[in-house]
Chains A and B, each alone.
Chain A
Amino acid sequence: KQEVTQIPAALSVPEGENLVLNCSFTDSAIYNLQWFRQDPGKGLTSLLLIQSSQREQTSGRLNASLDKSSGRSTLYIAASQPGDSATYLCAVENYGGSQGNLIFGKGTKLSVKP
């Protein structure tokens, strides 16, 4: 059974710092991996999607990498800003499972202090 783990559960950094969020998964037979952002009281917004054949994806100050063999993904945020404060979740979609069945980690709550 696929399990997704995110460490740390919470992270507080000063504004301007570069940071890395970690995600690990137990079954490497994934179709893709996504990083989402969730603001308090809001739904999820997809940030980056990495197909299993890809190694990384970039969007602005965000860069996500994927190492399927080791079951790991990282989300790199450059020059963090207070507006980046949110919970970041990663989710994997397995091969062979029900299409669209995303398995989520419990998230890393990021606080960027001015």
Chain B
Amino acid sequence: DARVTQTPRHKVTEMGQEVTMRCQPILGHNTVFWYRQTMMQGLELLAYFRNRAPLDDSGMPKDRFSAEMPDATLATLKIQPSEPRDSAVYFCASGLTLLGGKETQYFGPGTRLLVL
């Protein structure tokens, strides 16, 4: 049963600390998305990659957030330094985009982040 995995599932940290969230997309998927969900804003796209190349990170605060795909099986989202307003659930999703096609996105269970 292929699924997107995310670690850690929960993270509590203090303001100013570095936070790294990891995502393992479904094997064979070539597109990876990072979303953030809060009560106030709902779900927002932060960044996404296709074939490991960043295509759009306009939704991501550039000064403290960074997203990378070191290889096809791992995507990371890093916050440095973290702030209380970063508290949210961060979701990773993956999909398979074929030429001229559109992918269905499969979501991971999320990382619930609390910054004190």
Contact = CB atoms under 8 A, between A and B. Distances in A.
Contacts of B91: 43-44
Contact of A106 (B42, B58, B106): B42
Interface string B36-52: 00000011110010000
A76 interface: no
Interface of B: 4, 31, 33, 42-45, 48, 55-56, 58, 91, 93, 95, 97, 102-110, 112
Contact-size category for A = 20 to 34
Given A89-B43, A107-B42, A43 B107 contact: yes
A102 interface: yes
Interface of A: 31-32, 41-46, 49, 89, 91, 93, 98-107
Contacts of A41: 109-110, 112
A31 B109 contact: no
Chief secondary structure at chain B's binding surface: strand
A43 B55 contact: no
Contacts, number: 59
Contacts of B105: 44, 46, 100, 102
Given A31-B102, A100-B31, A43 B109 contact: yes
Contacts of B109: 41-43
Nearest to B91: A43
Contacts of A89: 42-43
Given A89-B42, A91-B43, A98-B48, 8 more contacts: A43-B93, A43-B107, A44-B93, A49-B104, A98-B55, A102-B105, A104-B44, A105-B42
A42 B42 CA distance: 15
